[in-house]
């Protein structure tokens, strides 16, 4: 008897009154375990396979149309993990973004995103409690903005990616509440990274602060810092 994948198996003769046909498949499953196939004589064969991820089972059975190749399974798992960056971590930049865009050690994912994310993590203790919450939210926001590039929804050059990424800096800083931080946190932020690396464009940030609610104090402080 030939199985669903064209490989011959050994059929057994059903007992009197038995309506189930059964044969032992000579091949192995993806985990090296053997498996058996059962099916009604008058219907399409439904597979019961050992070694299949339980998330893909339905009432203990796996339909052949829902089996994934190992490569497809890995791709989907990676897509899912890269679609939702983990807070307070910096691995997204290398394992998700750089893995997809391949910009190299001097490209934005590794040289900028991961580098400054890790730098923020090392000075976290210098921030107030509110500042530490801001750091967590901002780092997550910056990574979340880059998810379309990490999952392949957007495909652009490394220079375009860098331009886009820096444009999100001011947005995330303000949306996550930089204006509500105490001045000591503003100093810690700038001392850690510097204006150019932190904001990409100070002029762009100032333009945003001019129209943002509750940002007058930070706006004036920033103006004074840039004039010096």
Provide the pLDDT for residue 146.
Answer: 97
- Please give the share of the chain, as a percent, with pLDDT higher than 90: 43
The predicted pLDDT at position 212 comes to 80
Task: Please give the Cα distance from 174 to 75 (Å, whole number).
Answer: 34
Mean of per-residue pLDDT scores for the chain? 74
In this predicted model, what pLDDT tens digit does every residue of 196-226 receive, in sequence order? 666 666 666 777 777 788 888 988 888 887 6
Q: Give 53-71 pLDDT, tens digit per residue.
A: 555 555 555 454 445 454 4
Torsion of CA 77, 145, 214, 201, to 10 degrees: 150
Between these two residues, 51 and 111, which has the higher pLDDT value? 111
User: Residue 40 pLDDT more than 70?
Assistant: no
* Tokens matching residue 107: 């490209």
Sorted by where each begins, the domain ranges of the chain are: 10-67, 75-227
3-state helix, strand, coil in the chain (%, to 5): 55, 10, 30
Over residues 146-201, the pLDDT tens digits come to 999 999 999 989 999 999 998 898 889 899 999 999 999 999 988 887 766 666 66
Per-residue pLDDT tens digits for 83-109:
999 999 999 999 999 999 999 999 999
Predicted pLDDT at 94: 95
Q: How would you classify the pairing of strands 20-28 and 10-11? A: antiparallel
64 or 49, higher pLDDT: 64
């Amino acid at each position: 008897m030939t199985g669903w994948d064209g490989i011959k198996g050994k059929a057994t003769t059903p007992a009197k009154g038995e309506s189930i046909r059964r044969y032992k498949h000579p091949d192995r499953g993806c985990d090296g375990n053997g498996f058996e196939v059962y099916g009604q004589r008058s219907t399409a064969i439904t597979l019961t396979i050992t070694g299949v991820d339980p998330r893909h089972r339905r009432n203990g059975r796996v339909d052949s149309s829902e089996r994934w190749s190992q490569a497809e399974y890995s791709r989907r798992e990676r897509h899912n993990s890269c679609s939702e960056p983990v807070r307070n971590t910096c691995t997204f930049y290398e394992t998700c973004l750089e893995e997809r865009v391949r910009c190299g050690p001097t490209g934005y994912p590794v040289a900028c995103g991961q580098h400054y994310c890790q730098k923020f993590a090392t000075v976290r203790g210098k921030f107030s409690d509110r500042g530490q919450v801001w750091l967590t939210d901002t780092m997550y926001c910056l990574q979340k903005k880059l998810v379309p590039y990490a999952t392949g929804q957007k495909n652009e050059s490394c220079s375009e990616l860098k331009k886009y990424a820096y444009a999100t800096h001011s947005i995330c800083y303000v949306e996550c509440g930089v204006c509500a931080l105490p001045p000591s946190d503003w100093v810690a932020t700038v001392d850690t990274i510097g204006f150019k690396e932190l904001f990409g464009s100070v002029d762009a940030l100032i333009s945003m602060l001019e129209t943002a609610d509750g940002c007058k104090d930070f706006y004036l402080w920033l103006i004074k810092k840039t004039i010096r």
